[in-house]
Chain A
């Protein structure tokens, strides 16, 4: 394969398109609301109408407004239909063939939910067919890899990623280019590239969506990374709960190999790169990089103290580059458009965009990609449409069990790594849960603590035995049995678990408690047994129970 052949394949794909194209989202969200049946009905309707020559029905990835699925879009007009059912298929087809308006509900691509977003990671999502590599090639796929192999030295690639300002999207926000540079400088013979697709935090589904919608983008990003650091083997560690993502990755790897875009002598160069999948068994802690490495090695998935960092000693003791799915998904666009283009988006210290999985008490649930620095208010009120049924937003939780609750009064905070950390939360991988006035904050803290307690690997004492006690204290306070003494114990235990735990799981487990204590302390105090009677405002849960 050379560049001309690549471009030929892309042109052939574009020329082969039929004048009308019906795109059906077949990512997990829409599939669960019946997209498969819609696809079958649509195929049958096209056939029955004898329009097979003019119309094609494609299975594409996520169109983001997951709560209104199954979503169907029709080209070239780019008309959106939502909550489509199989029996509406024929009417959509008929309307395209000069019939009357279809019975399906029309959506609106010009609403703020779509127009206020900026797509880089999701630029192909909902447009390309994830199970057909030709469809990715048609949008310039694998040309960034070609450019790297043919026009840039590995050092140039690292420089470009560094200059772009891209930071890790897996949670901690470590500068990606710096990490690549470290692994590249290691003198070892064997190095590895690992893609972290464990995505274990409750409420997060960004990485799943990227893998289901545009898997080749991640494969291409990994190949570019491998070239830059000098690796010839990659692994994608994907959780077993994502069967569709796994299938599409397997298909993608097979197709890329067949075209010589993965495997030996890629683009007829001396660069070899193979990618294998490793399926996780659903432990949150296996998303932690050292636990993930142990798991790939076939050992028990428990973290170990760092240093040494994986960049120095990772898989089987070799230098290993670990990045998140979304981090890799940014790479082809950076190579294609240039570092300065990427660096022009976002804030001074947080460049590019961030994908959030918007969920909870919000009108529009789904995927949202916005430039860094967009305010929380814009995300939840303008894009998300605010709380449904006349509710008011009380808090926004970011970062899942490792993050914190940000009160509505601080919604003007821009989302970037530093601003969120300053508020006691974290950017995290991108889960964003909106809570309305009925939400009981002690309950929220307890929910996340229960999650951490169940997911603690048990290796270190502060997290293993501490989260259990934190959970008991929260239950006790939540049920009105706690005293101010318990509250004090809760706070000092939080502090110890945060600073003494071995890995990020334990270190961040107290965050939901600490942030709700910081912003909603009165909800804790009001239900302490020794809290002065009379001024005890009934908490949300208590009044709900009355």
Chain B
């Protein structure tokens, strides 16, 4: 196993060559904000929260999809990166109807955590207030498009870990929506196994367990990573 040495935020560290910059940073206790990444799932580099500045590349790269390389010098918290991250979170809040006070995930929401982390005290952009539907046709779970950030973690959890591929994305741009089967009510889906992995993977209150109160509604987002590690490495570690 080859080892690479690199510098992240001034700290010289080593990483295994197959690791991503994000994994190497986390191993060294350096936190990089993420949203679309979830341990156990493939990475898509979509949310752009984890963008880092790697000297000599001339562009910003997502830490979650970028492999470590020998001698890399990486900055994860420049003023520019911080301002981009804050703007991305603002854009998400403006895009749909994220009203924490009436959200089932209040207090257990990664979007909310990110807003606090990036210091979002107000939103500079117009709230778009789109009309979004809520699908409660499934007997155990619900989908609230108002809260969806299109991270596609549900899509990947269902496809890669459960193997059902009930979820997908339809539509384009800001009109894109996650769908079940052929864009039909979740309750009528023939592929859904009701395993609930999508609900656990969801960072916000978009996917929820019906009948739970805000206080009860704590998701176990490490479940997917736990399952995959158990499967692939035969290690039952949390």
Q: Please give me the 10 A-B residue pairs with the lowest Cβ-Cβ distance, nearest first.
A: A458-B176, A465-B91, A305-B45, A456-B173, A465-B95, A469-B125, A500-B48, A458-B173, A305-B65, A496-B84
Interface flags, B155-177, vs A, CB<8A=1, else 0: 00000000000001101111110
- Is B60's CB under 8 angstroms from A458's CB? no
- Is A464's CB under 8 angstroms from B174's CB? yes
- Is A459's CB under 8 angstroms from B46's CB? yes
A171 to B141, CA, bound (A): 46
Q: In the complex, what residue of chain B is closest to A472 when comparing beta carbons?
A: B126
A107 to B195, CA, bound (A): 72
* CB proximity to B under 8 Å, residues A410-436: none
A499 at the interface (CB under 8 A from B): yes
- Is A458's CB under 8 angstroms from B150's CB? yes
Pick from B47, B62, B84, B152: contact of A499, CB under 8 Å: B84
A457 to B83, CA, bound (A): 24
- Is B124's CB under 8 angstroms from A459's CB? no
A492 at the interface (CB under 8 A from B): yes
A-B residue pairs in contact (CB < 8 Å), sample of 6: A305-B44, A459-B46, A460-B48, A461-B150, A464-B95, A469-B94
A464 to B88, CA, bound (A): 10
Given contacts A468-B174, A500-B88, contact A462 B48 (CB under 8 A): yes
Q: Is the interface of A mostly helix, strand, loop or mixed?
A: helix
Q: In the complex, what residue of chain B is closest to A452 when comparing beta carbons?
A: B173
* CB proximity to A under 8 Å, residues B81-131: 83-84, 87-88, 91-92, 94-95, 124-126, 128
Interface flags, A444-463, vs B, CB<8A=1, else 0: 00000000011111111110
A501 at the interface (CB under 8 A from B): yes
Given contacts A300-B169, A455-B173, A472-B126, contact A502 B91 (CB under 8 A): no
- Is A461's CB under 8 angstroms from B173's CB? no
B51 at the interface (CB under 8 A from A): yes
A461 to B59, CA, bound (A): 17
**Among the interface residues B62, B91, B169, which one has the most CB atoms of the partner chain A within 10 A?**
B91
- Is A459's CB under 8 angstroms from B44's CB? yes
A283 to B87, CA, bound (A): 27
Interface flags, B198-225, vs A, CB<8A=1, else 0: 0000000000000000000000000000
Pick from A304, A305, A458, A467: contact of B171, CB under 8 Å: A458
A47 to B188, CA, bound (A): 66
Shortest C-beta distance, A55 to chain B (Å), equals 52
A105 at the interface (CB under 8 A from B): no
- B87: chain A residues at CB < 8 Å are 492-493, 496
- B92: chain A residues at CB < 8 Å are 461, 465
- B61: chain A residues at CB < 8 Å are 305
Pick from A283, A304, A453, A501: contact of B44, CB under 8 Å: A304
- A265: chain B residues at CB < 8 Å are none
- Is A501's CB under 8 angstroms from B48's CB? yes
Given contacts A459-B44, A500-B51, contact A467 B84 (CB under 8 A): no
- Is A458's CB under 8 angstroms from B172's CB? yes
- Is A300's CB under 8 angstroms from B168's CB? yes
Shortest C-beta distance, B53 to chain A (Å), equals 10
* CB proximity to B under 8 Å, residues A463-518: 464-469, 472, 489, 492-493, 496, 499-502
Interface flags, A34-54, vs B, CB<8A=1, else 0: 000000000000000000000
- A454: chain B residues at CB < 8 Å are 172-173
Shortest C-beta distance, A256 to chain B (Å), equals 36
A126 to B207, CA, bound (A): 59
Shortest C-beta distance, A458 to chain B (Å), equals 3
- A305: chain B residues at CB < 8 Å are 44-45, 61-62, 65
A466 to B124, CA, bound (A): 12
- Is B46's CB under 8 angstroms from A462's CB? no
Q: In the complex, what residue of chain A is closest to B53 when comparing beta carbons?
A: A499
- B47: chain A residues at CB < 8 Å are 460-461
- A499: chain B residues at CB < 8 Å are 59-60, 84
Pick from A283, A304, A456, A500: contact of B84, CB under 8 Å: A500
Shortest C-beta distance, A480 to chain B (Å), equals 17
A515 to B39, CA, bound (A): 41
- Is A304's CB under 8 angstroms from B48's CB? no
A464 to B48, CA, bound (A): 12
Shortest C-beta distance, A357 to chain B (Å), equals 25
- B94: chain A residues at CB < 8 Å are 465, 469
- Is B91's CB under 8 angstroms from A466's CB? yes
Pick from B51, B168, B169, B172: contact of A456, CB under 8 Å: B172
A70 to B12, CA, bound (A): 69
- Is B176's CB under 8 angstroms from A461's CB? no
A458-B173, A489-B124 given. 13 additional CB < 8 A pairs? A454-B172, A455-B172, A456-B173, A457-B172, A458-B174, A458-B176, A460-B48, A462-B91, A464-B95, A464-B174, A464-B176, A500-B48, A500-B88
- B150: chain A residues at CB < 8 Å are 458-459, 461, 464
Shortest C-beta distance, B76 to chain A (Å), equals 14
Q: In the complex, what residue of chain B is closest to A285 when comparing beta carbons?
A: B172
- Is B46's CB under 8 angstroms from A502's CB? yes
Pick from B46, B124, B126, B175: contact of A461, CB under 8 Å: B46
Given contacts A460-B46, A461-B48, contact A468 B176 (CB under 8 A): no
- A489: chain B residues at CB < 8 Å are 124-125
- A462: chain B residues at CB < 8 Å are 48, 84, 88, 91
Given contacts A462-B91, A500-B88, contact A467 B48 (CB under 8 A): no
A454 to B172, CA, bound (A): 8
A344 to B52, CA, bound (A): 42
- Is A461's CB under 8 angstroms from B91's CB? yes
Shortest C-beta distance, A302 to chain B (Å), equals 8
Shortest C-beta distance, A460 to chain B (Å), equals 5
**Among the interface residues A466, A469, A502, which one has the most CB atoms of the partner chain B within 10 A?**
A469
Interface flags, A289-315, vs B, CB<8A=1, else 0: 000000000001000110000000000
Q: In the complex, what residue of chain B is closest to A301 when comparing beta carbons?
A: B172
A371 to B64, CA, bound (A): 43
A244 to B190, CA, bound (A): 41
A461 to B203, CA, bound (A): 15
Shortest C-beta distance, A284 to chain B (Å), equals 10
Shortest C-beta distance, A422 to chain B (Å), equals 16
- A468: chain B residues at CB < 8 Å are 95, 128, 173-174
Q: In the complex, what residue of chain A is closest to B149 when comparing beta carbons?
A: A461
A501 to B92, CA, bound (A): 14
